[in-house]
Amino acid sequence: MNPQIDVSDVVIRTDRLVLRPFKPDDLQDLYRYASVDGVGQMAGWLPHRNFEESSRVLDWFIQGKKTFAIEYRGEVIGSIGIEAYNESELPELQSQKGREIGYVLSKAYWGQGLMPEAVRGVIRWLFEEEKLDFLVCGHFVENLQSWRVQEKCGFVHYKRTPYTTQYGETKDHWISLLQR
């Protein structure tokens, strides 16, 4: 079951990061990382073409109240969304409370251990404060960087499925599971 999640008043601090709700002032930073080729494609979306596109996404993040901005040294460098998982794809988990997380990080910060640090902070909050029983997280089969983040955070591969990206390409996709 997908319980309601609201991050609008939540701030999570890790050793190097602040995870907080997005705010209108984050538009420049969001566009900076979301417009870079190779970033969005790892998560199934194309690079932002202009500020208007980033502005629509930013509004969606703010209105949805389920996406954390990842702030590092005063700059937003990525996001972690807490989405509804597909209950029909995982009916065996319906008696438990869970959600799906997804993340993206500026290419300039890949390989520095920042995303596992951010994901661990969100996992801790979801399990300790929101009392979820499990989390799922997906990655395209070829996206080994995303798999490494998940593996470092305790996720295990659970189910392989096809996934259709926002730009219409169907790719092989792993759903990984982490239980409390």
Pick from 166, 168, 144, 164: which is nearest to 176 by CA? 144
pLDDT score for 141: 87
pTM, whole model, 2 decimals? 0.91
CATH number of 12-179: 3.40.630.30
Question: Residue 76 corresponds to which tokens in the numbers above?
Answer: 């937003």
The pLDDT averaged over each successive group of 10 residues in the chain (180 residues) is 96 98 97 86 79 93 97 97 94 96 94 97 98 95 90 96 81 92
Domain boundaries defined on the chain: 12-179
pLDDT score for 39: 76
pLDDT score for 73: 97
Helices 27-34 + 51-64 axis angle, to 10? 110
Q: Spell out the residues 6+ positions from residue 160 whose beta carbon is closer than 8 angstroms to its own.
A: 141, 172, 173, 174, 175
